[in-house]
Amino acid sequence: MPQINVSLKEGASADQLESAKKQVTDQGGKIEHEFKLVKGFTASFPADKVHSLSSNEHINVEADGEVKTQ
């Protein structure tokens, strides 16, 4: 399963983050890491279900990947 990063949009509540985590696990995903500085998490999530999670208006969903600096 690919990994995705999920973070709350500005103004979203902590309850909405908990709802997103429940949606991930209910749809066969697994929370891999919870962020400390940003309200969010990384999860392994079925690729064919990402569209259902990304339709949540309170969160941002993006593919997890390596970040490099120049």
Per the structure, how many domains does the chain have? 1
Question: Is the dihedral angle over the CA atoms 29, 31, 35, 36 positive or is it negative?
Answer: positive
**Any domain includes 16:** yes
The pair of structure tokens assigned to 29 is: 């995903």
Residue 69 has a pLDDT of 83
Percentage of the chain modeled with pLDDT above 70: 100
Residue 17 has a pLDDT of 92
Domain span at residue 28 reads 3-56
**Residue 31 and residue 64: Cα distance in Å, rounded?**
13
Under a CB-based contact definition with an 8 Å cutoff, are residues 27 and 21 in contact? no
**Residue 35 and residue 65: Cα distance in Å, rounded?**
15
**Any domain includes 44:** yes
**Any domain includes 63:** no
pLDDT digits (tens, 9 = 90+) for 27-49: 999 999 999 888 999 999 998 98
DSSP state of 9: P
**Any domain includes 37:** yes
- CA atoms lying within 13 Å on the CB side of residue 33: 9
Q: What is the CATH number of the domain that holds 22?
A: 3.30.70.80
pLDDT digits (tens, 9 = 90+) for 6-17: 999 999 998 999
